Amino acid sequence: MSYDVFLSFRGEDTCRNFTDHLYSTSIRNNMSTFRDDEELPKGGEIAPELVQAIEESRVAIVVFSKTYADSKWCLEELLKIIYCKEERDLKVIPIFYHVDSSEVRNQKGIFEEAFAHHEENADEEKKLKIRRWKTAMKEAGNLAGYHVKDSYESKIIDDIIEEIHGIIPKVLDVNDNIVGMDSRLERLISLLKIQFNDV
């Protein structure tokens, strides 16, 4: 796997606060984390690099915020994330950032408005895509996640990081400057050469 964590979020809502803090904390905890800071141009499709990053991640964190469903790009990411959850056993952790999980699940309130906007002048192909987005959003909204509303964000981020630590495999990070290893490594290499020559 290339990434421990893939972050899906609406930039204008959370990129300079919650998502940035979550990203920074995951990096400080030695988690390989993908965060895309680029905005997709209007009418653009999800970039192949994003698809690959989702496919090569162990955990996807979806930060549902007030304008998440306004973004076709976010909805395309969500669709791919839910696909990978079902087909590749990707672990998905939803974050409900100042939104209610029932509004996400049932596409009510601001989410209903966002989908109504997407449906304006939609042809049959686009209507099919919108139905798939709604299904993916319903499935993600049904998952147990974290609610960020009237609580300390740092505590929630710590809880998320702890959960991710329970999901990703433990790896010992060893650098090149281990005291006393050179002589032991040279001895091991010489033994391997002796055994190789005896074969």
**Alpha-carbon gap, residue 137 to 45, rounded angstroms:** 18
**CA R_g for the chain:** 22
Which neighbouring-strand residues pair with 57?
Answer: 3
Question: Counting every residue, how long is the chain?
Answer: 199
Listed in sequence order, the residues at least 6 apart from 17 whose beta carbon sits closer than 8 Å to its beta carbon are 153
Burial of 145 (0-12, 13-18, 19+ CB in 10 A): buried
Question: Would residue 124 show up in a list of annotated catalytic residues for this protein?
Answer: no
Residue that is written with structure tokens 């909204």 in the block: 141
Give me the catalytic one of 77, 87, 112, 125: 77
CB 95 within 8 A of CB 148: yes
Asked if 8 and 74 touch (Cβ cutoff 8 Å), the reply is: yes
Which residues are designated catalytic? 77
